[in-house]
Amino acid sequence: MLHVKVILTQISLNPSLSSDSLSASSKAKLVTMKSPARVQQFILGRMLLAQAATRALGVDYAAADIEEGEFFPYLSKAAHLHASISHSGDSLGVTVNTERVGLDIESCRPKANIAKLATFALHQDEASWVNAEEAEAQERFYLLWTLREAAFKAGLREHVIRGSSIITDSNLDVDWHWASAREPKQRISIASATACSLVLIHNLAL
């Protein structure tokens, strides 16, 4: 069983972060960003990844050794570790593991048109499950949405992008592994090809 530790922080509690400690590839990506909020989020994400890598390795890992891949950052001096990062609203989370794990965070803002959104964004069977219980519709939607996003990030794309449903007879039915937690304002989900459990670590300010 892979015990997946997700480190969570609040972006607003980490203002005025310096990019000096970042790698050249991270700095190159940073200069393309025009939004100050996006810049802050990007720097914080790399610093938090370095902290997660330090926890995983048991020795200090520098943000300068986090490089930018085509889609995701990676740990250039710890190639056996896999990193995943997600943000939503004021929340940002990262995880570093020996197996590939996808992480997704979504702020659970109530949506007035949840039935229509589910029909548009999800498989027909999933939308039917979401809309079957009005009182549970919001929670069901965010659970399915984050699981799909996490599975995609975990490299399980063929399981979630080819029109297949992850719901069968009102039950989650997948041949990969997942875990999910509901915080007061957000849903946090992970997915992996390996059996996994979810451990949340709150680190509000670096």
Q: What is the pLDDT along the chain (206 residues), one digit of tens a residue?
A: 999 999 999 999 988 899 999 999 999 999 999 999 999 999 999 999 999 999 999 999 999 999 999 889 999 999 999 999 999 999 999 999 999 999 999 999 998 899 999 999 999 999 999 999 999 999 999 999 999 999 999 999 887 776 788 887 778 888 899 999 999 999 999 999 999 999 999 987 77
Domain span at residue 48?
2-104+184-202
Q: Are residues 100 and 198 in the same domain?
A: yes
Q: 137-153 and 114-121 are packed helices; what angle lies between their axes, rounded to 10 degrees?
A: 30
- Give the burial string for 151-164 (b: 16+ CB within 10 Å, else e): bbbbbbeebbeeee
The pTM is what?
A: 0.94
Q: Report the CATH number at residue 58.
A: 3.90.470.20
Q: What does the pLDDT look like over 69-95, one tens digit per residue? A: 988 999 999 999 999 999 999 999 999
Can you give the pLDDT at residue 167?
85
Q: Are residues 194 and 99 in the same domain?
A: yes
Q: Are residues 67 and 129 in the same domain?
A: no
- Strand pairing report for 73-75 and 66-68: antiparallel
Cα 96 off chain centre by: 11
Q: Are residues 170 and 194 in the same domain?
A: no
Q: Are residues 100 and 111 in the same domain?
A: no
Q: 137-153 and 124-132 are packed helices; what angle lies between their axes, rounded to 10 degrees?
A: 150
d(CA 99, CA 92): 21
